[in-house]
C-alpha cells in the first residue's frame, strides 16, 4: 500500500513512518526539513520537502496520494494541512482528546485545562477535524502522548467507548501510530472520531 505521512520528522510522524515501513508499505514522508526524518534510507521511503502553509508546494507534494496520515500538531497550521490532505486522498488525522466532539468524553477537568492552555489553538484544531470528517476521513483523538512501545492490550473505540476518568489516560505514540495504520489498512471509523486506548 502507498501511504503519505505529513510531519514525518516530528515525533508521531516519525513513528507513523517507521511502523508503515515495517509493515511493508511504500511511504512518502513529507516534512519541511526531510533530512530530519531520522530513519535509514530505504527503497520504500521517499522523502519530500513541503510545508502545509505553502498551498502550491503541499498540493504538489501530495499529488497522487491515496491515503494521507497526519502527525501535524502545530498550532495555526492544522486547518491548512487538513484542507490539503482531503484534496489529495483518504485521510487519517491525529487530534487531541478533549477538543471538539470529544470534549464531553474527556471530562470537565480536561476541558477546563484545554480551554485555559490551548484557547488560541482550539478553533484551528476543531476546524481541521471538521474538514477531515466532512471529507469522510477518520480523526483520532488521543490522550496525552508519551514515548514508549506499542501497548500489547491496545484497542480503538468510538467516543462513546472512552472510559470516564478525571483525566484521559496517557497513550504511547507507538500505540497511536499503530491504530492509525490499522485504520489506513482496514477502515472501520470512516467519517468518525476514533480514540486509541492502551487498555
Could you tell me which of 106, 95, 104, 101 has the C-alpha nearest to residue 165? 106
Could you tell me which of 42, 34, 90, 39 has the C-alpha nearest to residue 62? 90
If one counts every other C-beta atom within 10 angstroms of the C-beta of residue 66, the result is 12
Is a pLDDT exceeding 80 seen at residue 19?
yes
Provide the pLDDT for residue 165: 75
Q: How far apart are CA 70 and CA 180, in angstroms?
A: 9
HEC readout, 163-191: CCCCCCCCEEHHHHHHHHHHHHHCCCCCC
pLDDT digits (tens, 9 = 90+) for 86-145: 999 999 999 988 888 888 777 777 777 776 767 678 889 999 999 999 999 999 999 899
Provide the pLDDT for residue 41: 96
Q: In this structure, are residues 23 and 44 in contact, taking their beta carbons and an 8 Å threshold?
A: no
Percent of the chain with pLDDT over 70: 96
Q: How far apart are CA 74 and CA 55, in angstroms?
A: 17
Q: In this structure, are residues 47 and 31 in contact, taking their beta carbons and an 8 Å threshold?
A: yes
Question: Structure pTM?
Answer: 0.94
Is a pLDDT exceeding 70 seen at residue 67?
yes
Q: Is the dihedral of CA 139, 143, 149, 155 positive or negative?
A: negative
Domains of the chain: 2-197 (3.40.50.720)
Q: In which residue are the cell numbers 480551554 written?
A: 115
Provide the pLDDT for residue 105: 79
Amino acid at each position: 500500500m502507498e501511504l503519505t505521512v505529513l510531519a514525518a520528522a516530528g515525533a508521531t510522524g516519525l513513528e507513523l513512518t517507521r511502523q508503515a515501513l515495517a509493515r511493508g508499505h511504500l511511504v512518502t514522508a513529507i516534512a519541511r526539513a526531510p533530512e530530519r526524518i531520522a530513519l535509514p534510507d530505504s527503497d520504500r521511503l521517499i522523502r519530500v520537502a513541503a510545508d502545509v502553509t505553502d498551498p502550491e508546494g503541499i498540493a504538489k507534494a501530495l499529488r497522487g496520494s491515496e491515503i494521507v496520515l497526519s502527525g501535524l500538531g502545530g498550532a495555526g497550521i492544522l486547518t491548512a494541512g487538513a484542507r490539503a490532505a482531503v484534496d489529495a486522498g483518504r485521510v487519517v488525522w491525529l487530534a487531541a482528546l478533549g477538543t471538539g466532539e470529544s470534549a464531553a468524553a474527556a471530562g470537565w477537568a480536561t476541558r477546563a485545562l484545554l480551554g485555559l492552555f490551548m484557547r488560541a489553538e482550539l478553533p484551528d484544531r476543531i476546524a481541521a477535524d471538521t474538514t477531515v470528517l466532512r471529507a469522510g476521513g477518520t480523526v483520532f483523538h488521543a490522550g496525552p502522548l508519551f514515548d514508549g512501545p506499542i501497548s500489547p492490550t491496545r484497542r480503538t473505540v468510538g467516543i462513546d467507548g472512552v472510559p470516564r476518568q478525571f483525566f484521559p489516560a496517557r497513550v504511547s505514540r507507538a500505540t497511536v501510530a499503530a491504530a492509525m495504520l490499522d485504520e489506513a489498512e482496514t477502515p472501520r471509523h470512516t467519517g468518525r472520531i476514533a480514540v486509541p486506548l492502551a487498555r
